[in-house]
Each structure stands twice: as C-alpha cells, then as structure tokens.
Amino acid sequence: MTSASASDDFFQMEKRNWSTGFNDYDLGFGPLTRQAIPTLLAKADFPPSNKSDRGYPYTLLDVATGPGFVLSSAIADLALTSSPEDCESHPTYQLTGLDITENFLTMAKQRIGEQLAQQTNAQSSKINVQFVVGDAEKLSLKFPTNCIDSIICSFGILHLYNPDAFLSEAYRVLRPGGRLSFSAWAPPSRTEGFGITLQSVEEVGNMNVEGLPQGPDFFRFGDTKEAAETMQLIGFEDVQSVELSDMKWTNIKDGGMLYDTLLNGTVRTREILLGQTPEQSVAIQQLVKERYNALTNNGERSLAMPAVVTSGQKPLQ
C-alpha cells in the first residue's frame, strides 16, 4: 500500500467515524477535554497579553474544533478580560474553527451562536467567528503564510495521519511571534480509561483487527520529551511540554459507561472494539467493568486522565 493510499484510508476512517460519533464525543469527552483548555489558551497567548489596537484583528485558529469548546472558552475569556474602554478602543478578534466534519461544525456554530447572542452588542461586535471545512495537514489550502496569531489544537493531533505535517503547516501560517499549543493524552499507563480498555482488549480480545488502517502512535505526543523535540526540529522556540496530572474523568460513572463512550465517541478505539467477535465483545465489556470497579473502588473515585500540553512560538525573525 502506498503512503498516499494509507493516508487516505486513515483520513476516511476518521471522517466516517466523526460523522456519527460527534454527539457521543460531546457528551462523553467534553467534560474531560475542557479541563485542558485554560492551559491551551494561556500557552497560545489568547486572549493576547498585549491588546493594543494594531489596526487589524487578532486571530485565533482552532484546529479540529469539534464541538467548539476552545472557541467557546476563548469568547468567554474575552468577555471576562474586556472593559467598557476595550469596547470603544481595543482591537477586534477573528476566531476560526476548522474541522473535517460538517456535523461537528454545525454543533460548534450552534454553541457559539447561542453564546454570542447572550453578550452585549458592544462585546459581540468585536468578535467575528467563522467555520471552515478543512484538513489540518493542509492548512495552506485555507490560509496564507504569516496570518494567524494563535493556533490551538485540542486533542486533534491524535487523529492525524501525519501530525508533523500539521505542525509544519501551523508554523507556516503563524505570524512571526505567533504561538501554537496542542494537547494529547498521556500514555495508557497513566490514563486509566484507556488503560483499562486497551488492557482488556489485549487480554481477551484482538488488538490487530482486520481492515484497521495504518496510523501513527496514538500516544506519541503524550511523551513530553518527544513532543518538545518535535516542535524544536520544526523551528519553534520557547517550547514547553507539561503534563496536566490533575485531570479526572468525572462524568464516567461505571465501566459500562466507559466502554460505551470509547465505542461511540472515538475513532481508532471504536474500530478496534467493533472488530471483535461477539464472544470477544462480551468478554471485553465484562473485564472493563471489573477493572473499573477494582480501580475506582466501585466508582468512589474518578478515573485519572492526564494530558500533555505542548506549546511554542514562531521566531520573530
């Protein structure tokens, strides 16, 4: 199989699953992934620390925007940090959400539209939001060089066939001095939800299901050293990679809910679970429930789900 064919197979798998799994991701993963957003925004310098009116908008690009959690938080932060003087004299903001899935973009548009409708006219008039169907690995098809101040990718890098291409594209479209931040899950030895499920598949099921497209290491950027070195090789400076060790999956209440969320609200894990025989599926579900109960003392504590946030700046020169 050629590299182009493998890449297309992977892309189509992602697009196909997200076209049906968007609601389950919103409900199942939303309360968890949102915990990383304050760090993502801060590391991308948004809202900008220097908000002087430079005559053109400050720009934020949310790559793999999904349900629009990052954009929603960015808008909320702008409202919190603005003052009456800001509404009269400070700059406007251009926020863009990019995703491959129309259903996610529709969900994000609704979320953001409702949020902006609750703001004052003066606040909302300073914020322009647009949504774009596009591929994170091909940002050059949508954005010119040196045009974006801040780029954020909240757990989207895990769903790219060539994440290095995305990082290079992000570097290109950032303005000099612009910042990128992205999040990824820590390895399954520390992310208990993934660990429980994948260990169960390995023990009573089959990890090598037929027809699963070739893809990169899902947990590659959960290694802080690997993530930082990759950013530095591309050319980013002031690179930081930190683990958010306090993240908890508070909305998952039992092993059955964990299994269903991973089955319906993911891509590669979903494909692995769907690829089991009926007997294997029953055995995996039972083992997930048993391991969840043993690990959490029958649900008395939440699953630990740490993430790694990596960030860097495009040099000024």
- 127 burial level (CB within 10 Å; 0-12, 13-18, 19+): buried
CA distances from 225 to 222, 232, 235, 307 (A): 9, 11, 16, 14
Residue 56: pLDDT band by 50, 70, 90 thresholds?
confident
Residue 90 reports pLDDT greater than 90 = no
pLDDT, residue 50, reads: 76
Residue 165 reports pLDDT greater than 80 = yes
Cis peptide bond upstream of 47, omega within 30: yes
Residue 297 reports pLDDT greater than 80 = yes
Residue 32: pLDDT band by 50, 70, 90 thresholds?
very high
Q: Which helix (H) or strand (E) holds 275?
A: none
Residue 83 reports pLDDT greater than 70 = no
Residue 91: pLDDT band by 50, 70, 90 thresholds?
confident
Which two tokens mark 255? 């092993």
